[in-house]
A and B are shown apart, each in its own frame.
Chain A
Amino acid sequence: MPFPLVFIAIMFGIPLTAAVLYAFLRGGPGLRRYIVARIALTVPMVLILGSLVFLLMRVIPGDPTDSDLFLQMGAEQREQIREDLGLNDPLVIQYWTFLGDIITLDFGDSLTGSERPVLDEIGERFPATMELVIPAAIVALMVGVWTGTAAARRRRSPTDLGLRLLSVAASALPLFWVGLMLQLIFGVALGWAPVSGRIDPIVGIELDRITNLLVVDSVIQGNWEALQSVALHLALPVATIAFALSGTYLRLTRINVIETLQQDYILAARARGVTDRRVIYGYGLKNAMIPVVTIMGLQVAILLGGAVLTETVFSWPGMGRYLIERIFARDFTAVQGGIVVFAFVVAIASLMVDIIYSLVDPRIRL
């Protein structure tokens, strides 16, 4: 397995394991049972999504070797490729091998380009997507929760109405258009930020791609010039995704803070003379965050979909771009592997969110 993927697995694996261990040591039997059940549910989820990919790719009429790429080859060569891909086997056997391949993360060699193993190619592309979506999710959460609380505090004021309209607009604006407008304003007109790529190519030459998370790479190599270039390249795409996501967080935080502020314990706190600030941020927001955490799981799907569009707009060499490029190149194995990787990410992300949720919500911790 390529090192960048191992690195990301460790990066997510440590907090996840820590959370699970904490839940087991400190939590009650209910929480323990819940977590075991939740982890067990990940397996059918990956299998179902995998089967869906299989269904799409193999059962629907049409043949990966019918594309222009292979039509130029002779019939024998095509037959050889079909044989190599296992397309001549009965569907049941194909399905069985496919499931086995998913579990062992063996997606075969890509049919185009350098014809390297798909997993190696993904190892190059996947960190780029992570570097894009993780900051975007954090920025969106912070902005959304902050503005949502502000709106809830001044309910029915012009601020509230304005922020609500903004959140409606954020969900109506096509993400790719937001990206293009940012390019037009900050890239073309003002010239503040670059509009494509991950790093200035001249600076990039001197940077070893160890983890392929360029922020991490430039920090551990102490290359501050590279770090600056990476940050500049990140600015517009991250802003694009964060803007699209923050609207939902704003709306949810607002509704939940309003709801929480109507609870009796808030009234009790106020009666005891707790300051307004503390009531809202200490009591209100803390309890209102629980539903916001739940929605984060669903936001992962939007985040990844948004990453595909944003990567296209900003020529960002991540997973989304990989998928689209290989669809156009009719690279059957790469497309299949790419979609399965997305399925993995979705399954693991929703597992993480659910475990965080169970730790945050005291009602489940019993």
Chain B
Amino acid sequence: MTDTNLPLTPLSAELTRHGLLRRILRARRWYGADWWMVAIGGAMAAAFVVVGVIPGAFAPHHPQAQAGPRLLAPFEESFGGVMIVLSEDTLTEVTDLAGEDRVPIGIVAGSDSGQALRDEADRISDEARAAGSDLRVRLRINRYETPKELLEALMAGDVRVAAAGSDIAAQGINDHPGIRVAGPITEQSTETFPLGTNQIGQDILSRIIWGTRIAVLVGFVAPIISICIGVPLGLIAGFSGGRVDRLLSVLMDSVYAFPSLILAIAITAVLGPSLLNVIVALGVVYVPTYFRVIRGQTLITKELLHVEAARSLGARSHQILRSFITPNVIPSAVILFSVSIADAILTGAGLSFLGLGLPPDVADWGRDLARGQASITEAWWLVVIPGAMITLIVLSFTLLGEGLVEIFNPKLRDR
């Protein structure tokens, strides 16, 4: 629980004497590890924010585009496959088939090479159409269960071209004289993916980069909502006291005791899946955190001398609240903000991991992690990478936030 470390004495006195920025810059009394916690956390957080704001500038592919073959491991060479034909055939590349009517092609059902051949044919046809030519590649696909059946069909003349992986081709040429490898299906399929691809051939790197946007949005907007509700309520409760205070406190304490994730689950379940609803749910969930801290600060500040002086000079309640109390409690809200960014991102990721909250087509780390779990035995990178990213972003904001808390918490600082 991060908020138990929060300052319970007003920071105002120190802040007015030194100024927030000056304190951070001079920071002679930062002890132990805190200065580099803030530095590293701040730098990482800034990097995440930049990537989150302009993911398009960093991502090599569209997050929803099928960029390559399925389930390609990080840096694994993508598998192109080859075309096999009878020896007397003069075919060398897919373009040679253009203009012919419905060439019979054999593939092994569900194989990557079959998919690659179809993609290549579509690509050539699209190019031809764009160039205004009519030389399209029209294929008639015959599907076979095993490579053996495929090669037998080729030998029998049922199909003109067989698409297969290069290992199958090598084996096939050995076993069946009279056939040869015509050439690779496509020449542009040598791209490797630094973080691999997922079950539907999307580039993980691009999805990770676009997922940053969701994390940053959730992390910043949700706490702002909590501040907008929690701070005024805390001020009112702490300042006015009495029945209003008791009512609000019991209400907020009850919500605070309730597991935030389960509350967020309930809210998003009712509101339905959308990014806005996730943000609203997380915003509502963290209202009590702000309420409690601000109320406590207000109670303390209310008793300070300058407030008493203002009151004895005849200042009215709303003036005291606005000019003398609010400026004194705002710094703790700011510090709490930096801590709750991490909380909001973590809870938000949990929500989307559970499949609640975000629409299914959005590139999001929690969502990708849940999808990756289905392939955990065959593709470790689908599980490791999105989780590592969530950890990194949460860690950077936690380091930043906790470092700031320790620096501005006089009670802990001198130890």
Binding site for B on A (CB under 8 A): 41, 44-45, 48-49, 52-53, 56-57, 60, 62, 156, 161, 164, 168-169, 171-177, 180-181, 183-184, 188, 248, 252, 255, 258-259, 295, 297-302, 304-306, 308-309, 312-313, 320, 323-324, 327-328, 335, 339, 342-343, 346-347, 350
B133 at the interface (CB under 8 A from A): no
Per a CB cutoff under 8 Å, which of A172, A248, A308 touches B261? A308
With A175-B350, A181-B384: A255-B259 Cβ-Cβ less than 8 Å:
no
Residues of A within 8 A of B399 (CB): 168
Contact B33 A161, beta carbon cutoff 8 Å: yes
With A174-B346, A176-B369: A49-B258 Cβ-Cβ less than 8 Å:
yes
With A168-B399, A312-B353: A177-B254 Cβ-Cβ less than 8 Å:
no
Residues of A within 8 A of B415 (CB): 258-259
Residues of B within 8 A of A350 (CB): 257
Contact B1 A177, beta carbon cutoff 8 Å: no
B262 at the interface (CB under 8 A from A): yes
Residues B1-21 near A (CB distance < 8 A): 1-2, 4
Contact A56 B266, beta carbon cutoff 8 Å: yes
Q: Inter-chain contact count A-B, CB under 8 Å?
A: 145
Interface string of B196-238 (1 = CB under 8 A from A): 0000000000000000000000000000000000000000000
Residues of A within 8 A of B255 (CB): 48-49, 52
Complex-state Cα separation, A180 to B382, whole angstroms: 11
Q: Which residue on B lies nearest to A45, using beta carbons?
A: B254
A sample of 11 inter-chain contacts (CB < 8 A) reads A44-B254, A56-B267, A156-B32, A168-B398, A176-B350, A177-B387, A177-B388, A183-B376, A305-B350, A306-B261, A342-B259
Interface string of B342-372 (1 = CB under 8 A from A): 1000100110011110000000001001001
Contact A48 B353, beta carbon cutoff 8 Å: no
Q: Other CB < 8 Å A-B pairs besides A180-B383, A184-B380, A306-B261, 16 of them?
A: A45-B253, A57-B270, A169-B395, A172-B346, A172-B394, A173-B394, A174-B350, A177-B383, A177-B387, A177-B388, A180-B376, A183-B376, A248-B1, A300-B259, A327-B269, A335-B269
Complex-state Cα separation, A277 to B235, whole angstroms: 47
Complex-state Cα separation, A312 to B353, whole angstroms: 9
Residues of B within 8 A of A171 (CB): 2, 398
Complex-state Cα separation, A143 to B284, whole angstroms: 33
Interface string of B260-275 (1 = CB under 8 A from A): 1110011101111000
Complex-state Cα separation, A259 to B342, whole angstroms: 27
Contact B383 A339, beta carbon cutoff 8 Å: no
Chain B, interface size: which category? 35 or more
Complex-state Cα separation, A236 to B9, whole angstroms: 42
Residues of B within 8 A of A295 (CB): 1, 4
Give chain A nearest CB distance to B50 CB in angstroms.
Answer: 20
B84 at the interface (CB under 8 A from A): no
Give chain A nearest CB distance to B127 CB in angstroms.
Answer: 43
Residues of B within 8 A of A172 (CB): 342, 346, 391, 394-395, 398
B390 at the interface (CB under 8 A from A): yes
Residues of B within 8 A of A45 (CB): 250, 253-254, 257
Residues B93-135 near A (CB distance < 8 A): none
B334 at the interface (CB under 8 A from A): no
Contact B265 A184, beta carbon cutoff 8 Å: no
Per a CB cutoff under 8 Å, which of B253, B260, B265, B387 touches A174? B387
Q: Which residue on B lies nearest to A347, using beta carbons?
A: B257
Give chain B nearest CB distance to A33 CB in angstroms.
Answer: 18
Contact B267 A327, beta carbon cutoff 8 Å: no
Residues B176-200 near A (CB distance < 8 A): none
Per a CB cutoff under 8 Å, which of B4, B354, B356, B391 touches A177? B391
B251 at the interface (CB under 8 A from A): yes
Complex-state Cα separation, A107 to B4, whole angstroms: 36
With A174-B349, A176-B369, A180-B369: A188-B376 Cβ-Cβ less than 8 Å:
yes
Per a CB cutoff under 8 Å, which of B260, B388, B412 touches A305? B260
Interface string of B57-88 (1 = CB under 8 A from A): 00000000000000000000000000000000
Complex-state Cα separation, A67 to B328, whole angstroms: 49
Contact B262 A305, beta carbon cutoff 8 Å: yes
Residues of A within 8 A of B398 (CB): 168, 171-172
Residues of A within 8 A of B259 (CB): 300-302, 304-305, 308, 342, 346
Give chain B nearest CB distance to A97 CB in angstroms.
Answer: 20
Q: Which residue on A lies nearest to B261, using beta carbons?
A: A305
Give chain B nearest CB distance to A46 CB in angstroms.
Answer: 9
With A48-B251, A174-B394, A188-B376: A308-B1 Cβ-Cβ less than 8 Å:
no
Residues of A within 8 A of B254 (CB): 44-45, 48-49, 52
Most B C-beta atoms less than 10 A away, residue of A49, A52, A176: A176
Residues of A within 8 A of B258 (CB): 49, 52, 301, 342-343, 346
Q: Which residue on A lies nearest to B346, using beta carbons?
A: A174
Most B C-beta atoms less than 10 A away, residue of A183, A300, A305, A343: A305
Q: Which residue on B lies nearest to A262, using beta carbons?
A: B415
Residues of B within 8 A of A299 (CB): 1
Complex-state Cα separation, A161 to B257, whole angstroms: 31
Complex-state Cα separation, A252 to B377, whole angstroms: 38
Give chain A nearest CB distance to B390 CB in angstroms.
Answer: 5
Give chain B nearest CB distance to A299 CB in angstroms.
Answer: 8
Q: Which residue on A lies nearest to B347, using beta carbons?
A: A305
List 10 tightest A-B contacts by C-beta distance, closest first. Answer: A177-B387, A305-B261, A305-B259, A172-B395, A48-B254, A301-B259, A172-B394, A327-B269, A304-B259, A45-B254
Contact B261 A184, beta carbon cutoff 8 Å: no
Contact A176 B353, beta carbon cutoff 8 Å: yes
Residues of A within 8 A of B257 (CB): 45, 297-298, 300-301, 346-347, 350
Residues of A within 8 A of B388 (CB): 177
Complex-state Cα separation, A299 to B259, whole angstroms: 9
Give chain B nearest CB distance to A348 CB in angstroms.
Answer: 11
Residues B365-410 near A (CB distance < 8 A): 366, 369, 372-373, 376-377, 380, 383-384, 387-388, 390-391, 394-395, 398-399, 402
Q: Which residue on B lies nearest to A349, using beta carbons?
A: B257
Q: Which residue on A lies nearest to B37, using beta carbons?
A: A168
Q: Which residue on B lies nearest to A297, using beta carbons?
A: B257
Per a CB cutoff under 8 Å, which of A60, A164, A312, A342 touches B262? A342
Q: Which residue on B lies nearest to A306, using beta carbons?
A: B261
With A313-B373, A323-B262: A255-B384 Cβ-Cβ less than 8 Å:
no
Contact B266 A339, beta carbon cutoff 8 Å: yes
Contact B354 A324, beta carbon cutoff 8 Å: yes
Residues of A within 8 A of B376 (CB): 180, 183-184, 188
Give chain A nearest CB distance to B261 CB in angstroms.
Answer: 3
